[in-house]
Amino acid sequence: MRLDIISIFPEYFAPLDVSLIGKARERGTLDVRVHQLRDWAHDVHKTVDDTPYGGGPGMVMKPEVWGEAIDDVIEGGSPRMVVPTPSGRPFTQELAQELAQEPWLLFACGRYEGIDSRVMEEYSGRLRVDEVSIGDYVLAGGEVAVLVMVEAVGRLLPGVLGNAQSAVDDSFAPGAMRNLVEGPVYTKPPLWRGHEVPAVLLSGHHGNVARWRRDEAIRRTVRNRPELAAALDPATLDKHDRKL
Ligand X SMILES: N#Cc1c(-c2ccc3ccn(Cc4ccc(CN5CCOCC5)cc4)c3c2)n[nH]c1N
In angstroms, rounded to a whole number, what is the distance separating the alpha carbons of residues 208 and 224?
24
> Cβ closer to ligand X: 15 or 159?
15
In angstroms, rounded to a whole number, what is the distance separating the alpha carbons of residues 232 and 217?
12
Options 10, 63, 67, 86; binder of ligand X; rule CB under 6 A: 86
> Cβ closer to ligand X: 145 or 180?
145
Q: How far is the CB of 164 from ligand X (least distance, A)?
A: 28
Q: How far is the CB of 139 from ligand X (least distance, A)?
A: 4
Total length of the chain: 244
> Cβ closer to ligand X: 97 or 133?
133
In angstroms, rounded to a whole number, what is the distance separating the alpha carbons of residues 4 and 226?
37
**CA end-to-end distance (rounded Å), the chain:** 42
Q: Does 154 bind ligand X (CB under 6 A)?
A: no
Pairing verdict, β 60-61 and 49-50: antiparallel
Options 10, 22, 63, 141; binder of ligand X; rule CB under 6 A: 141
In angstroms, rounded to a whole number, what is the distance separating the alpha carbons of residues 26 and 39?
26
Options 11, 45, 54, 138; binder of ligand X; rule CB under 6 A: 138
Residues forming the site for ligand X (CB under 6 A): 57, 84-86, 88, 110-114, 133-135, 137-142, 145
